[in-house]
Amino acid sequence: MSGLRLLRLSALCGILAAAPPSPAQDKFSADTGECGGEPVAAITTSKTAVRTDRRTGIRMYGVLRFRRNSEDAKGHRCHVIYELYVARKRSGLARVRQLSWDTEEGEIAGIDLIGFSPDGSKLAADFWLAEGDGEEHRPVVYDSKTSKARFLSLGDRIQRKIKSCDQVEKFVGVTNQGYAVFTVPPSDYDDSPECGDKGVWKFDLLTGEVRRIKQFSDDRWK
């Protein structure tokens, strides 16, 4: 898969069915598993748990719908539809963003619910795509004030600005202004000083600009 960077990601095999979250720990992520195996005529659905901001009462959850017909199975691919749903207080959940994607051999599609901005007005999710040890972050940021959602792949925007040493970005939050926030912790493969912490970065989904806002990845950014 072109443009994907190294990331520690455990290998997943087969299609993972949606399971109810345990009361002790909600699962705010869902994925398709690796697209291969026997054809499945019906559409398979995998859902995250519902995530709620206690201050504003805004809720969100993610859904993956995917199918694998006979041709898909031969090519080890799936047709995937990503969906993000949002609700305000007592209103019902409504879809605010959808993305259709055809995976290639070995790719896994997934959704992570990243969380809410400090003031609760923005929420973020990641419509990610992974292959082997690589992952592409594709942030979705929803603004509850305007009821609009923005979507843009991070691509290699941060990687072009740093000496990477096989370092990977982590999508950790969203600001009150709607910037997606990423950290770049030290490399797991090289402990030399130049492969150390690359700090905290904000990503503007409107302009595509990335900028470092903190020197170290554990610096408080909120």
pLDDT in tens, 1-36: 444 333 333 322 232 223 333 333 467 999 887 766
- Per-residue pLDDT of 133-188, as tens digits, reads 778 999 999 999 999 999 999 999 999 999 878 888 999 999 999 999 999 999 88
Q: Which two tokens stand for residue 51?
A: 């995530």
- For CA atoms 192, 194, 195, 196, give the dihedral sign: positive
What is the spatial distance between Cα 195 and Cα 178, in angstroms, rounded to a whole number? Answer: 29
Q: DSSP label at 159?
A: G
pLDDT for 70 equals 66
What is the spatial distance between Cα 213 and Cα 13, in angstroms, rounded to a whole number? Answer: 38
- Residue spans per domain, the chain: 5-156
pLDDT for 72 equals 66
- Per-residue pLDDT of 177-196, as tens digits, reads 999 999 999 988 888 888 99
Average pLDDT, the chain: 83
- Per-residue pLDDT of 29-38, as tens digits, reads 998 877 666 6
Considering just the CA atoms, what is the radius of gyration of the chain in Å?
18
φ, ψ (nearest 5 deg) of residue 105: -55, 130
pLDDT for 219 equals 85
Place of tokens 């990331």: 7
- How sure is the predictor about 67, in pLDDT bands with cuts at 50, 70 and 90? confident
Contacts of 11 (CB under 8 A, 6+ apart): 34, 132
What is the spatial distance between Cα 81 and Cα 73, in angstroms, rounded to a whole number? Answer: 17
